[in-house]
Chains A and B, each alone.
Chain A
Amino acid sequence: MLSYILKRLLGAVPTVFIIITLAFFLIRAAPGGPFDSDRAVPPQVEENLNKKFHLDEPLIQQYGRYLWDVVRGDLGPSFQYRDYTVNELIASGFPVSVRLGLSAILLAVMVGGTAGIIAALRQNSATDYGVMTFAMLGISIPNFVVAPLLILVFAVYLDWLPAGGWNNGAFANTVLPTISLALLYIAFVARIARGAMIEVLHSNYIRTARAKGLPSWKVILKHGIKPAMLPVVSYLGPASVAVITGSVVIEQIYGIPGVGRYFVQGALNRDYTLVMGVVICYGALIISFNLLVDILYAWLDPKVRYS
């Protein structure tokens, strides 16, 4: 197992290298530069700025310099937020995004998983239709509609929760963003769990367990849930990444200092180093989550073994 993990990690190095290379040249290919604004500056000032940030060097030299810096763990200064380095910005934004994303995923698995299993056990009943209708709604209503609605109800009308802001991560400030972010995933998880559970309930070993006279709850808890969760787990890898990287809308609406906003604004501002930093960060995240899911899979599914 350990050698498998090591092999996978080593295999990730060229992937990250390719990601860096592509991103480096792609962002620079976009017209306009980090210091363009509607307020023209004297050419000399422009030159000074380019010199300060090494933008006056040939592209290949900049690339070499950047790679060397990345190897040493230095992602460079931000061109836009000039008081900060990219390392600092990511160090402050990334934990926020991860915390928000993982709480949303946790919520999605708990609520969605439970709802899906209950729906499967009562297949074609009112409960089942209710859960599936809710799931369809969750999938089809975009979060930029859900989020303001939740704010309107729970912050403006009922005054139970703050309407936005991070407030250094106070619990009350995380409730609405987590729910807004989780809704879509609750729906997906519920649908996947329901489908998987129905399939499992029809399989031979469940019938055997029932025939042996085991009580129904034991059949489901001991033999049913674990295999039914397999498709959910394989979905969780990409979903966790998507929820962490794709929370930019939620971050914007709730004013949350996550890394998603850096990505979008960095691209718009041509903040090359910040965009690169976030890309590397996302790349590492995707690679490690895929690895994590594969390991989890081996634990859940006795048919899968890595050696």
Chain B
Amino acid sequence: MTTSAVTFSSDNFARQCGQRIRLVLLLAVVLSGLSHTAGAQPPPGTELAEEQVLHRGNSREPQSLDPHIAEGVESSHIQRDLFESLVGEAANGDLVPAVATHWDISDDRLRYTFHLREDAKWSNGDPVTAHDFVFSWRRLVDPATGSRYSMMLAPVRNAEAIISGELPTGDLGVVAINDRTLQVSLHTVTPYFLSMLTHATVYPVHPPSVNKHGDRFTRPGNLISNGAYVLDEWQVQSHVKLVRNPLYWDNENTTINEVYFYPTEDLNAMVLRYRAGGMDMTSEELPVSQLDRLRETLEGELYISPWLGIYYYGFNLTKPPFADQPKLRQALSMTIDREIITDKVLGNGVLPAYGFVPPGVLDYEGYEYPWKDMDREAQIAEAKRLYHEAGYSKDNPLRVELRYNTEQNHKKIALAISAMWRQHLGVVTEIINQEWKVFLDVRAQKQITQAFRLGWIGDYNDAYTFLELGLSNNGQNDTGYNDPAYDRLLADSFQTETVAERAAVMRKAEEHFLGDYPVAPIYYYVTARLIKPYVGGFKSNIMDHHHTKYFYIKAH
């Protein structure tokens, strides 16, 4: 099982990021049911510090610690330590057995049978059983729970009907054959189902304590969890403190005894706290204005790595000026100098995007615009030609509104891109910023938007989490893209037999989508973190999932 960890420090980053980052994986190996321990011990000979306490910066106050309620990375970073799913992740993101030691998949790929480990326990000593998963997943899809992420179980039989209140939760396609065997039936072949099982939403909860405490079951003292850590303290807006769970099945391979998560909305203040020694690692975002200095002063502590996300502009295809104007949209997209945006405007290590699915996604090689390799003059000449063919010229310029949510970097990018459009095509752009919730509202309504900012971080490690955004019935389809041929291609991708075949169909879909220019990709996200040299065990992975159980503090 070979994997290439995608860790690079800032200086060789520029060199490496030009190359395609490939994660070699695995699915087949895992499917064959290997038993592999998820724990990670420090390399032999590592001298460990006496005090194994880790202080982590964690962007915002978690919305909730209830796996079925929470959304957002700040909650899931903590939940990954508290809970454990059937399938887990190694430090580098590879799928490994967790509560399930192995699983069988039926020939039609519609039935998954998970075999649970004997020694999986809740933090109060109760065994983790298949019934607990049935309870938890029914709770997740129960409309009364009010989960915003319940669609993560959509591939499971009847899940969608239960979420919309048409069927009782008992009809969910999940059955406990016995205490240690869980059978899951899917309504359609879902190649990324195992990958989805690493998402925090599908973590199990402890039925007796949920029944007993109701909404208060996540409080310190009430929360019974099955992960490597248990909740010890939670002061809202100050910190969440977890301590080691001695009953965790892989406890002997865990090194850190206590971990603190601090909400760090103010990025500059977070860096100061890190430098003063109050934090051992920061959150996944550093202040752009400080990066150059951090590169010089804290060189060995800065980790920039690709993240499963894309930043892009969308065009409203339902209204003028962009309805039925593919050439105009292409002209605008080609005029954007992505390298200027990534290197000069931002300079934070993000990668220029010429495709839609970020590099590094499991078992997939994305499509990229062929004009990526044309030289800049040729790109602009072609863009001008398309612009004229679309009926616009210097004397009759396009007047367009470009909308983004109020934020410093969005503004910089919008200014740079509108300048590129004006310089090369003569486009007159009106830049409009709106407060986040207002922006979301306007964008989703598709009534007054023309060009607008979009961004997407994938929910699971598969190209589909991006490609589904273009489906005509997708809730996030803010461009109004509606192409039956595209919908059909994505539907076809589920009917394929092999991983390679599926990748080929999805690539064709991506090419089709990008060829219609409903969007202009701008850059692929990266995470940027500071980590003290004495913290061991960190490995970058494209999902940016970092379990505390893989870390250790070296003597320092």
Interface-central residue, B66, B144, B436, by most chain A CB under 10 Å: B436
- Residue of chain B at shortest CB distance from A154: B276
- Beta-carbon contact of B278 and A163 below 8 Å: yes
Which residue of chain B has the shortest Cβ distance to A161 in the bound complex? B276
Asked whether, in the complex, the Cβ of B216 is within 8 Å of the Cβ of A165, the reply is no
Are B237 and A261 neighbours in the complex by a CB distance under 8 Å?
Answer: yes
Docked-complex contact A81 and B64, CB < 8 angstroms: yes
Chain B residues with Cβ below 8 Å from A167 are 238
How does the 8 Å CB contact mask read for B435-448 relative to A, with 1 for contact and 0 for none? 11110111010000
Q: Is the CB of B146 within 8 A of A49?
A: yes
Q: How far is the CA of A218 from the CA of B551 in the complex (A)?
A: 66
From 250 to 276 in chain B, residues with beta carbon under 8 angstroms from any chain A beta carbon are: 262-266, 268-269, 272-273, 275-276
Is B69 interfacial (CB-CB < 8 Å)?
yes
The CA-CA distance from A256 to B262 in the complex, in Å, is 10
> By the criterion CB–CB under 8 Å, are B143 and A48 in contact?
yes
Q: Does A301 contact B (CB under 8 A)?
A: no
- How far is the CB of A91 from the nearest CB of chain B, in Å? 10
Assuming the contacts A164-B269, A165-B239, asked whether A83 and B441 have C-beta atoms less than 8 A apart, the reply is no
Inter-subunit contact A164/B237 (CB<8 Å): no
User: Which residues of B sit under 8 angstroms from A81, Cβ to Cβ?
Assistant: 61, 63-64, 236
Interface contact B148-A31, CB-CB below 8 Å: no
**A42-B163, A252-B269 known; A163 vs B61 contact (CB < 8 Å):** no
* CB of B42 within 8 Å of the partner chain: no
Contact B438 A31 (CB under 8 A): yes
Are the CB atoms of B237 and A258 closer together than 8 Å? yes
Residue pairs across A and B with CB atoms within 8 Å: the count is 158
Are the CB atoms of B143 and A253 closer together than 8 Å? no
Binds B, one of A32-40, A105-113, A130-138, A189-197: A32-40
A252 to B: closest C-beta gap in Å: 5
| Chain B residue at minimum C-beta to C-beta distance from A53 | B146
Interface residues of B in 223-266 (CB under 8 A from A): 235-239, 262-266
- A93 interfacial contact with B, CB 8 Å: yes
Report how far A262 CA is from B440 CA in the complex, Å: 22
Say whether A89 contacts B236, CB under 8 Å. Answer: yes
Cα–Cα distance between A80 and B63 once the two chains are bound (Å): 6
B272 and A156 form a contact (CB under 8 A): yes
A31-B266 in contact given A42-B475, A83-B216, A159-B276 (Cβ < 8 Å): no
Task: Pick from B147, B149, B219, B440: contact of A38, CB below 8 A.
Answer: B440
Closest 9 CB pairs of A and B: A32-B437, A40-B475, A163-B276, A257-B237, A44-B164, A257-B238, A155-B276, A163-B273, A48-B143
Interface pairs (11), CB distance under 8 Å: A45-B143, A48-B143, A49-B148, A155-B273, A155-B278, A165-B262, A168-B238, A255-B237, A255-B238, A255-B263, A265-B61
Chain B residues in the interface with A (C-beta under 8 A): 61, 63-66, 69-71, 143-144, 146-151, 160, 163-165, 215-216, 218-219, 235-239, 262-266, 268-269, 272-273, 275-278, 435-438, 440-442, 444, 455-456, 474-476
